[in-house]
Structure 1
Amino acid sequence: MWNSALRAKYFGRGKPFGRTEWDQLLGHCGAVTDVPAACFWRDLVAAYPEAKAVLVVREEEEAWLRSCCALLDGALDPFGLYVLRFTDPFWFGRIITCASLYIEGLFGSTNAVVAKANARAAYRKHNAEIRATVSKERLLEYKLGSEWEPLCAFLGKEVPGVLFPNLNDSEMLRLSFLYAVAKTIRHSLVNLAVVVGAGAVVGGLVWRVGIEAVTSAKEQALLGGTSVVSSCIRATCGYQGITRCVGH
C-alpha cells in the first residue's frame, strides 16, 4: 500500500489516501516515524486531527546532510537499482521500489548526484512547511539528543526508567546496510540457482525426448527404411526441416 500511496501523492497515479486507506495501512500502529510515513505528514495530520506531531531536528544541519547523502548513495547504487532488485524481487526489489518512489518524490530524482544536490533545500522546505502548518498545540520540535523529558511532557507520559534508544547512528546504519546487502545476495544466489536448475531440468527433458525420438526412429528405419525415420521425426518435433535432414 505504501507504493500506491507514494504513486498517488507524487506522480498522480491513483487516488490519494484518505482516512479509510490510512486506517487500513496504519490502523494497527500507535505511532509512525521516518520514511515513507514522513512523506505523508500533511495527509496524516489531516486524517487524524487527534494525533500529535513530532518534528526531529539536529543541532547541526550538516550532520543531517552527511547522513542523508550516505543513505542516498546506498539506496541509489546502480548495482542495487538495476541488478539486485530483479535478482531478489520479493524482498530487496520491494524495498528499493518503495525507496525509489519516496526519494524521487522528496528529492526530485533517483540519480544520486541530483538527489544529494537537492537534499538540503528539501530538508529546509520540509521543516518550514511543518512549522507553518501544524498548530503549536499539536507540534513538538524535538532536538535530537534531548532524551526523554521533552517528549514525555509533550505526550503526557511518565519518563521511563530506561535509557533513551539510540539505534539510528551512522554505525548502526552501516551495519544495517551490510546486513541488507548480504541478505539480498543470498536471496539472489538462491533465486538464480532455482532458475538455472529449472532450465537444466527442462533442457534435460528436451534432450531426453529428442534422444528417445531419434532412437525410436532408427529402430523403425531398420524395419521400414528412411521414410519411416522422416515420419517419426515429423510426428515428434513437428518441424519439416528436421525431416529433410534426417531423411538424407
Structure 2
Amino acid sequence: MALDRQNANVTNFGLARPRTNIDRRSCKRIVPMKVLCLGLCRTGTSSLRAALLELGLDDVYHMCSVLEENPLDAKLWKEAFDAKFEGIGKPYGRDEFDALLGHCMATADFPSISFAPELLEAYPDAKVILTVRDNADVWYDSVLNTIWKLSNFLCAPPRTLTQRTVQAILPKPPFNIFKYSPLGNFPEEGRQWYSDWNEEVKALAKGREFLEFNVKQGWGPLCEFLEVEQPKTAFPRVNDSNVFKEFHNTRLDVERLVGISTKLVAALAALGLAVWLAKK
C-alpha cells in the first residue's frame, strides 16, 4: 500500500512525515528490511525515497528522517559513529539497527550508508540498490555546488568575520556525517571517492539481488527489480541542485542571516560606543 500523502508533507528532501519525538533505543523491528539503497548523496536518493514510499515500502530511512522527522535519532547515530570510527562504546549490529531502523523497510543516503558493511551483514535478505549519476563529473559538480559548499562554509575554520559570525549563530550538528569521508578535501578527492565508493558497494553486494540505478531511468527498472506494478504517476523528482540551493537560501537563508548578524554586530558596536561616550 502506497504512502498516504495526507500524512506526509512534500518537502525539498522528499516526502516527510510529521515531526515526532521518539526514543528508539528500546524499539524493535516491526517490518522486514527489504531494500538497502547504498548510493552516495546527490545521486537521487531523495527522489528514490519518495519513489519507494510511493511503491509501499514504509518507511524509508534517509537523512530527512533525522533532520525533518525524528531528531532524537541523532543520539543513536552519534553512538554508532563513535563506536565504528572512534572505538568508543559497542559497535552497532543487528539488535542496535533493529531498534533504530525497525520501522523501516528500506534505507537510503547518509547516515545509514556509512554503515554499508554492517547493514549488509545485519540484513542478508535485503535487496541492494546503488544509485549513480551519468558519470563522476556530473556527481562531482552537483556535490561541489551544494553539500560541499554549504558544509565548508558552516564547518571549516572561519576565514572571514561573516563566516565566523554565522558559525557562532547556527547550532552545531549533533554528529558530523562527513568527518570520516573525503568531503573535507572534496575538490581534490571527490571524483575518486565516487568511483571508489561505487566499486566498493558492488564488491560488498556480490551475490545479492542488486540494481545499479540512475533515477533518470524512471519507474521501469526499479519496479521490475522490486517486482511491483509500475505506478501511473510520474517518477518523483525532488532535491535537485536548484532545489537544494533554493532551500538553503530560503529556509536556512544563510545570506539573509549573514546580513542580519552583520547589522546586529554593527548595532551592538554602535550601542557600546554610545554607552562608553555617555560615561565620559
Normalising by structure 1, report the TM-score: 0.63
Matches within 5 A, 1:25-104: 25-70=100-145, 71-78=147-154, 83-84=165-166, 86-89=168-171, 93-94=172-173, 97-98=174-175, 101-104=176-179
Q: 1:26 to 1:167 in 2, by over 3 A?
A: same
> Post-superposition, which runs of at least 4 consecutive aligned residues in structure 1 deviate over 6 A?
none
Q: Could you tell me whether the CA contact under 8 Å between 1:54 and 1:140 is conserved in 2?
A: yes
Q: Could you tell me whether the CA contact under 8 Å between 1:103 and 1:115 is conserved in 2?
A: no
1:148 aligns with 2:219: yes
Structure 1 residue 11: Cα displacement: 2.8
Q: Which of these residues, 202, 210, 214, is aligned with residue 131 of structure 1?
A: 202
**Unaligned segments of structure 2, at least 5 residues:** 1-75, 158-163, 269-280
Q: Which of these residues, 16, 22, 32, is aligned with residue 91 of structure 2?
A: 16
- What do the CA deviations read for 1:163-186 (whole angstroms, capped 9, x no partner)? 101102111111222234239959
Q: Which of these residues, 159, 168, 172, is aligned with residue 239 of structure 2?
A: 168
Q: What is the root-mean-square deviation of aligned Cα atoms in Å? A: 2.8
Q: Percent identity?
A: 30
**Unaligned segments of structure 1, at least 5 residues:** 197-248
Higher relative contact order (CA 8 A, sep 6+): 2
Whose Rg is larger? Answer: 1
Q: 1:9 to 1:116 in 2, by over 3 A?
A: farther
Q: Could you tell me whether the CA contact under 8 Å between 1:53 and 1:138 is conserved in 2?
A: yes
Aligned length: 179
Helix, strand or coil: the match of 1:102? coil
State the distance in 2 between where 1:185 and 1:16 align: 39
Q: 1:180 to 1:40 in 2, by over 3 A?
A: farther
State the distance in 2 between where 1:79 and 1:143 align: 30
